[in-house]
Every structure is written in structure tokens, then in C-alpha cells.
Amino acid sequence: LELLWEPVQLNCNHIFCFVCIEDSLVYSNRCPFCRQNFTIKEIKINLEIQNRILNSFSTEQIENRKKIHEQSLFQKESFTRIIVEYGNTAIKDRDKYNSTVFVNVIKVIKGKLSKKNILKNQLIEKVEFNLNSFCSKSGFLVSSPPWEFTRSRCPEYNCHITITWNKFLRINPYEISYVVDYSSPKNIKHFILEVKQ
């Protein structure tokens, strides 16, 4: 095991290196240990834990870990990471259902793309929402922000989301299968897309 560097403590109390938990978002927004959901807002360096680590190890151990961390960041510099959230807002009042399914680019980090003056909503060209339900209309194409659609009188359903990125990114569309959930007023998931520049 490596020495923790820039530790992040999630709401479930599990602790990970900042870079490690950020990397895990490429695959899932669940804690790698207990599988509890977490949000991108939870990924903040815990300075108290960081200070305890710095005070508990020798200068040589700290410097070695710092070099490993810097090498890892250097290798990732050729990639731009696009953090995307998707999910739904939902209201179920007796037999009435209302839901809005959405996709948002919330942050662009690292790499060359983050240094350009590009608005987050310029990264997406269009979003297609295809429903698998008893709703009357099964497909929605949204070609300008906000990247969302709203349905009324539609019970829980599966939604297949296809995000087509702007041509300058030179990447294939990203597909998500998502179950619109009425168990809470807002359901959010994240993924990180790595783009080699």
C-alpha cells in the first residue's frame, strides 16, 4: 500500500487518495469499498488527515510519495477529464408522476482542453433520450442546452441516453442506461470521460 496523498473522506467515512477516488469516477460514483453512492461535491481534500500524515512519516517517505504523485499527474496531463452528471428529478403525488431527466457537464479538469476558453455547454452537440415504458412518445432529441426533457403521467421507466459530443473532441457518443427513480426528489450520478488531446 502507498502512503495516502491528498486524502479525501467520503460521507461513508472511507478515505482515499484524491487522485484515486477521482479516477474511480470514470467507472462509478460509488465508494470502492462499501458501494455507497457519493457526489462529486464530496471530493475535497481533508486537511486534518493530510496534516496527521505529514506529521507521522519521515521527510524521505513524504518526498517519495510526493514524487509518485507528481509522476501520476504528469502522465495524466495529456488527458482532459470531463465530469458529467446525469439523473432525474421526480415527483410522485398519489397517482401522478412528473420527472425531468437531465445531463450536465459540470467540470472540465486537467489537460489542454481545460486551458482553452470553451464553455461547458459547447462540449455536447446533442442528447437523445429513448424511453422503454408505456409512455406515448418514446424518443426525445435535445439539440441545445439545457440537456433535459420532462414527462408527466409516466410511471418509473428505463431511459437510454446517448450523448453526442461536439466534433472538435473527436470522440464517440457516450451511452448510458438509466432507470428513472421516484424514490427521492433528485437522483444524480456522475461519470468522468477522459479525452486524449
CA distances from 180 to 69, 121, 154, 174 (A): 39, 23, 10, 18
- Determine the Cα–Cα distance for residues 113 and 100; give it in Å rounded to an integer: 30
pLDDT above 70 covers what percent of the chain?
A: 87
Q: Which residues contact 91 (CB under 8 A, 6 or more apart)?
A: 97, 98, 99, 182, 185
Would the pTM of this model clear 0.75, i.e. be above it? no
* pLDDT given at position 174: 92
Q: Is 89 exposed, middle or buried (0-12, 13-18, 19+ CB in 10 A)?
A: middle
Q: Higher confidence at residue 145 or residue 78?
A: 145
Q: Higher confidence at residue 37 or residue 121?
A: 37
Q: Which residues contact 1 (CB under 8 A, 6 or more apart)?
A: none
| pLDDT class of 197 with cuts at 50, 70, 90 | low
* pLDDT given at position 135: 59
Give the pLDDT confidence of 2-30 residue by residue, as tens digits.
678 889 999 899 999 888 887 787 677 88
Q: How large is the average pLDDT for residues 51-74?
A: 82
Contact call for residues 78 and 67 (beta carbons, < 8 A):
no
Q: Which residue carries 505529514 as its cell?
A: 54
